[in-house]
Amino acid sequence: MNINLKQFEVWFVTGSQHLYGPETLKAVALHSQEIAKALNASGEIPVKVVFKPVLVTPDAITQLCQAANNAAKCIGLITWCHTFSPSKMWINGLKQLRKPVAHLHTQYNRDIPWATIDMDFMNMNQAAHGDREHGFIWSRLRLSRKVIVGFWQEKSTQEKIGAWARAAAAWADWQTAKFVRFGDNMREVAVTDGDKVSAQIKFGYSVNTHGVGDLVKLVNAATDKEVDALCKTYESTYEMSADLRKGGKRHKSIREAARIELGLRAFLEAGDFKGFTTTFEDLHGLAQLPGLAPQRLMADNYGFAGEGDWKTAALVRAMKVMATGLEGGTSFMEDYTYHLQPGNKVVLGAHMLEICPSIADGKASLQVHPLGIGGKADPARLVFNTPAGRGLNAALMDFGNRFRLLINEVDVVAPEHPMPKLPVAQAVWKCRPNFEDACAAWIYAGGAHHTGFSQALTTEMMEDFGAMAGLEVVVIDADTKLRQFKQELVWNDCAYGLKSGWAC
């Protein structure tokens, strides 16, 4: 499932007023067009940036906001006040606007022309106060937006717009997304469960369950010819031992895995689903716990999580959309086991099988091994290491009165020792600020054991996404101090308690 971010538009919207006369407004429009064009051409911004005529009346502002709401391709607005746009004019429009906004606080002219500056220059380049008036009305209306400050030609400014645009694309994707669960939540597990009705109200996406038998029908419908072709693809894509290849004595396991992938793919395509969950507790009629199939489907940008964890499946999908075109992969992940050597404490992340090969360091190896749980035939899975470098884990929990997005920045390290007996894909990382504080903070925050793991995304992108989704965003990074972090959780509980009417 290819994701094309260029299908999305953000509208570049400049606020002004009639006060300055037609000549100035003409210049404002030309300057805005030039900025929009530069942003559209920027390699840092993955979506189209579309110039919209300068807004000078309340009606024009309201109409623009309504048009943005109704334009499927429009995923957000970039607003800017080159001159001054009295903000009462914006109230009715902003009250109706349902698309994310980045308020770009920039100036057309980079430098003050010290020798020649006069009042004409001042009146043209007055974002310094025009954007303050604009910011007030957003704050007064208690509306969420991203404020981006910087010169429009500067890379760091464009990067911030790019991060926001990626988040807006993922947010737009969620609005129409459908996720399917084969079977329910893993019995008795709390953090992977949650309120699907609340999620749909807040996030737009739907989550519905199908009996695994509905999937089994399509798995059984896969033809031998299709299975042959897919097995050929496996053989040309992955390292495989001779006994798993065609003619080998364990080739049957690979064929079963191929059949499951074909059935799953057919099911997801027929239902236009953007992600799914499985559970080892509900596999009636399937020969194996799906391992290879979720791995390959994640690599094709489907969201996935195990054990019925629909929140994480949806999160992984959003992270996949945000990561489009960036270096580094994104996967479903679970904090699995620890190495507690003083001075070198690391987390080994993995799952029973289902880690996305987009994070593989080199060619993955396709293997078949027994699985201790589920009581099914030995499942096929891709086994690989994850390359060293920056990364993050993100988890989404339902706290009853709001959803919390928790992010921990990590540094992935190359495994110091080979793990020849570990039959799953894995990643090894060090947590920021350090193992003890990061894990304590994660646990104080009620962070899930399931996460979306990414070596492509930045915390900024995740925070932008969280803001659009109305999530409580809590970050554990190099600056985290545990005492303050615990206080932040208490304050957040109070703040969200006030917002929702829950006692804090």
Using rule CB under 5 A, residue 46 touches Mn ion: no
Q: Which is nearer to Mn ion, 54 or 298 (CB)?
A: 298
Residue span binding Mn ion (CB under 5 A) among the ranges 122-130, 258-266, 327-335, 414-422: 327-335
Q: Which is nearer to Mn ion, 281 or 361 (CB)?
A: 281
Q: Which is nearer to Mn ion, 76 or 303 (CB)?
A: 303
6: which DSSP letter? G
Q: Which is nearer to Mn ion, 83 or 279 (CB)?
A: 279
What is the C-alpha end-to-end distance of the chain, expressed in Å? 44
Q: Which is nearer to Mn ion, 280 or 485 (CB)?
A: 280
The angle at the Cα of 124, spanning 120 to 125, to the nearest 5 degrees, equals: 115
Smallest separation (angstroms) from Mn ion to the CB of 332: 9
Q: Which is nearer to Mn ion, 108 or 332 (CB)?
A: 332
Q: Which is nearer to Mn ion, 25 or 425 (CB)?
A: 425
Hey, what long-range contacts does 23-28 have (CB within 8 A, 24 or more apart)? Answer: 24/83, 24/123, 24/124, 25/54, 25/56, 27/124, 28/54, 28/82, 28/83, 28/124
For Mn ion, the binding residues in 384-423 under the rule CB under 5 A are none
The angle at the Cα of 493, spanning 488 to 499, to the nearest 5 degrees, equals: 125
Smallest separation (angstroms) from Mn ion to the CB of 304: 11
Residue span binding Mn ion (CB under 5 A) among the ranges 103-111, 218-226, 331-339, 362-370: 331-339
Q: How many residues bind Mn ion, per CB under 5 A?
A: 3
What is the SS3 assignment for 335? strand
Q: Which is nearer to Mn ion, 46 or 423 (CB)?
A: 423
Smallest separation (angstroms) from Mn ion to the CB of 39: 41
Rounded alpha-carbon distances, angstroms, from residue 281 to 47, 207, 333, 370, 409: 41, 19, 19, 16, 32
Which among 503, 473, 491 has a CA at the least distance from the CA of 167? 473
Instruction: Please identify which residue in 275, 306, 379, 423 interacts with Mn ion, judged by CB under 5 A.
Output: 306
Residue span binding Mn ion (CB under 5 A) among the ranges 334-342, 366-374, 395-403, 471-479: 334-342
Smallest separation (angstroms) from Mn ion to the CB of 388: 25
Smallest separation (angstroms) from Mn ion to the CB of 197: 24
Q: Which is nearer to Mn ion, 14 or 451 (CB)?
A: 451
CB 260 within 8 A of CB 368: no
Q: What number of helices (H) and strands (E) belong to the chain?
A: 15, 18
Smallest separation (angstroms) from Mn ion to the CB of 502: 29
Residue span binding Mn ion (CB under 5 A) among the ranges 37-45, 321-329, 332-340, 362-370: 332-340
Q: What are phi and psi of 480, to 5 degrees?
A: -65, 130
Q: Which is nearer to Mn ion, 50 or 186 (CB)?
A: 186
Smallest separation (angstroms) from Mn ion to the CB of 186: 8
Structural element, H or E, at residue 148: strand 146-149
Smallest separation (angstroms) from Mn ion to the CB of 368: 21
41 by Cβ neighbours in 10 Å (0-12 / 13-18 / 19+) ranks as exposed
Q: Which is nearer to Mn ion, 334 or 464 (CB)?
A: 334
Please tell me the distance from the alpha carbon of residue 426 to that of residue 420, in angstroms, as a whole number: 12
Smallest separation (angstroms) from Mn ion to the CB of 298: 14
Q: Which is nearer to Mn ion, 167 or 355 (CB)?
A: 355
Q: Report the relative pairing of strands 101-105 and 74-80 from DSSP bridges.
A: parallel
Smallest separation (angstroms) from Mn ion to the CB of 63: 49
Q: Report the relative pairing of strands 426-431 and 403-413 from DSSP bridges.
A: antiparallel
Q: Which is nearer to Mn ion, 353 or 380 (CB)?
A: 353
Residue span binding Mn ion (CB under 5 A) among the ranges 81-89, 299-307, 406-414, 484-492: 299-307
Please tell me the distance from the alpha carbon of residue 240 to that of residue 114, in angstroms, as a whole number: 69
CB 459 within 8 A of CB 477: yes
Residue span binding Mn ion (CB under 5 A) among the ranges 50-58, 153-161, 302-310, 457-465: 302-310
Smallest separation (angstroms) from Mn ion to the CB of 462: 21
Residue span binding Mn ion (CB under 5 A) among the ranges 12-20, 156-164, 203-211, 307-315: 307-315
The angle at the Cα of 118, spanning 113 to 123, to the nearest 5 degrees, equals: 100
Structural element, H or E, at residue 236: helix 224-237
79 by Cβ neighbours in 10 Å (0-12 / 13-18 / 19+) ranks as buried
SS3 content of the chain, % helix, strand, coil (to 5): 40, 20, 35
* 182 C-beta neighbours (distance < 10 Å), count: 23
Radius of gyration over every alpha carbon of the chain, rounded to an integer in angstroms: 25
Smallest separation (angstroms) from Mn ion to the CB of 306: 5
Structural element, H or E, at residue 365: strand 365-368
Smallest separation (angstroms) from Mn ion to the CB of 424: 12
Question: Rule CB under 5 A: which residues touch Mn ion?
Answer: 306-307, 334
